[in-house]
Amino acid sequence: MWTGAIVLSLVAAVSSAGSQPQPAACATWQACRDAVEAAITDEAFERALDLAWRAVQKGPKDDPALMFLLARAEARAGRPQDALVMVRRLAERGVRTEALAHPDLERVRDLDAWAEVEPLVARANDGAPGLSPAPVRAPKTASPPAPASAPPEPPPATTKLEAATAASRRTSRGSIPIGNAGLSEDVLRFSTDRFTPAGLAYDAVSRRFVVGDQRGRKLRVVGEGQDHAVDLVRSESAGFYDIRALSIDTRRGDLWVVTSDAAGVEGTVHRIQLVSGRPLQSLPLTSEAGHSIHPVDLAIAESGVVFLLNRDGRIQRVRPGNQTIDTVAALKGIEEASTLALASNDTIAYVADAHGLHRVDLGNGSAAAVVTAAELPLTGLERLRAHRGGFVALQRSPDGERRLLRLELNRTGRAVRAATTYDVRVEVGSPTAFAVSGDEVSIVSGATASAADVDASPAVGPPAELAVRRFRLR
């Protein structure tokens, strides 16, 4: 569970750096590194922490010496828990350190949890087999199985989305099992200034939530057991427009964010290093003839391919290592596309719009409406995420009420075979602040700011209490 948990230390450092009236100045990572030592000698520990964070940001990626320097600064600045996480991460990589005796880490060794970390450090220092240093990366976690897809079937040459939608209405199943279930719930409350949530992701490794601040054009982080959110990365360093959606590539430790301006003229896809908030890649979205830039969702395949959904039904793709974005599907008849989820092997996607839910073959761009029963309309799906061979959805009814819904598809993935509605009242101002991790569904709720509030004034009032509501499905 500790792999990749270095983000705990780095986020705390971000918080400290953000609280300084003037940022510590150093032109190069070497200068930052040297300045840390001087600050520790002068007992200017908060400054040392700020400088150490900057050294990690500017220096070689995942450099062990800089990471250990950051751990020392964290410990001296009164954050021994964060320093412990860093030390453990290095030990798990097989990196030899002075953690067993270094005077800067004395408070770390006083922690109860040190008993678990000490043997790991000793083993790394002894050069135990199988612990040779390796690049830090997110763990390989099992992604939720996606709906099984049938072998590729060549669609009729005349197939169009409008025809498929009409056909689904004519051939709706007469009845499907629809159950109702309660949910256990816990709430993480935190304080922050009011903002408009846009995108929510949960990093199960570090036990932290990443929330997009749409108009503030930055990403915020709040961890379990914490009572306030801190900034992870701002527009000044990443070049964000208004944030539209985000997702974590758990296998590679990257955070992907898609942003665009309100006019639909400019937009960008960003790849961010999750452990540090360092911008790694930025690809501009370009408008095509007759199409504006209005990204609404993104999804990441196990292979690392990133798929983007535009409001007009275009699906675009970013391949790992590529510097270009290509369009894989331009769906006809789509009205106000809202969300995108992947099936398996980068070949099948599911797109929701005003008409319902559609199965999209990413190989040839064809689409067909998912067949459902009359008593289970698939309109109003605001967010859709894969879960245990099916999907979890946030659905909005015509009267504005929202509900959680789990859909199970048949073997071909072309029809709903069963569904479960959950007996819970979902009050949420932003449908994009919705995430699924394992069997947990998370939603941001509370006194968030409306777009009008933020447009009227950059300062939208005193700090407010927000909450991440988490529901366990099983």
CATH number at residue 416: 2.120.10.30
Look up the pTM and report it.
0.65
> Both 321 and 374 in a single domain?
yes
Region 107-131: mean pLDDT is: 80
Region 121-149: mean pLDDT is: 49
Residue 338 predicted with pLDDT over 60: yes
Tokens of 91: 């030990």
Question: CA 183, 188, 193 angle in degrees (round to 5)?
Answer: 135
Residue 103, φ and ψ in degrees, nearest 5: -65, -25
Q: Please indicate whether residue 426 or residue 129 has the higher confidence score (pLDDT).
A: 426
> Both 113 and 258 in a single domain?
no
For the chain, give the mean pLDDT.
80
Q: Residue 291, SS3?
A: coil
pLDDT at 132: 34
Tokens of 118: 């000490």
User: Is 140 a member of any domain?
Assistant: no
pLDDT at 182: 81
> Both 110 and 186 in a single domain?
no
Q: Residue 442, SS3?
A: strand
> Both 281 and 424 in a single domain?
yes
Q: Which pLDDT band, with edges at 50, 70 and 90, does 174 fall under?
A: low
Residue 443 predicted with pLDDT over 80: yes
pLDDT at 158: 36
> Both 263 and 351 in a single domain?
yes
> Both 459 and 400 in a single domain?
yes
Which residue type is seen at 88?
R
Residue 21 predicted with pLDDT over 80: no
* pLDDT tens sequence across 190-226: 887 778 888 999 998 888 999 999 888 999 999 888 8
User: Is 11 a member of any domain?
Assistant: yes
> Both 194 and 315 in a single domain?
yes
| Number of domains composing the chain | 2
User: Is 131 a member of any domain?
Assistant: no
User: Crossing angle for the helix pair 64-76 and 45-58, nearest 10 degrees?
Assistant: 160
User: Is 139 a member of any domain?
Assistant: no
Residue 64 predicted with pLDDT over 60: yes
Is 77 in contact with 46 (CB distance < 8 Å)?
A: yes
Domain boundary residue, one of 70, 100, 125: 125
pLDDT at 447: 53
Collect all residues with Cβ–Cβ distance below 8 Å to 430 and sequence separation of at least 6: 196, 197, 198, 214, 444, 448
User: Is 361 a member of any domain?
Assistant: yes
pLDDT at 10: 36
Which CATH number is 32's domain given?
1.25.40
User: Is 135 a member of any domain?
Assistant: no
pLDDT at 297: 96
> Both 193 and 66 in a single domain?
no
Is 94 in contact with 124 (CB distance < 8 Å)?
A: yes
pLDDT at 56: 85
Domain boundary residue, one of 97, 125, 153: 125
Length of the chain, please?
Answer: 474
Residue 80 predicted with pLDDT over 70: yes
Q: Which pLDDT band, with edges at 50, 70 and 90, does 399 fall under?
A: confident
Percent of the chain with pLDDT over 90: 41
Question: Shortest CA distance to 467 belongs to which of 279, 150, 272, 192?
Answer: 192
**Structural domain for 69, as ranges:** 7-125
> Both 272 and 384 in a single domain?
yes
User: Is 118 a member of any domain?
Assistant: yes
User: Is 394 a member of any domain?
Assistant: yes
Tokens of 37: 């030592």
Q: Which pLDDT band, with edges at 50, 70 and 90, does 309 fall under?
A: very high
> Both 188 and 117 in a single domain?
no
Is 366 in contact with 333 (CB distance < 8 Å)?
A: no
Domain boundary residue, one of 64, 98, 125: 125
> Both 189 and 308 in a single domain?
yes
> Both 305 and 392 in a single domain?
yes
Q: How far apart are CA 315 and CA 305, in angstroms?
A: 12
Q: How far apart are CA 54 and CA 14, in angstroms?
A: 9
State the first-to-last Cα distance of the chain, in angstroms, to the nearest integer.
21
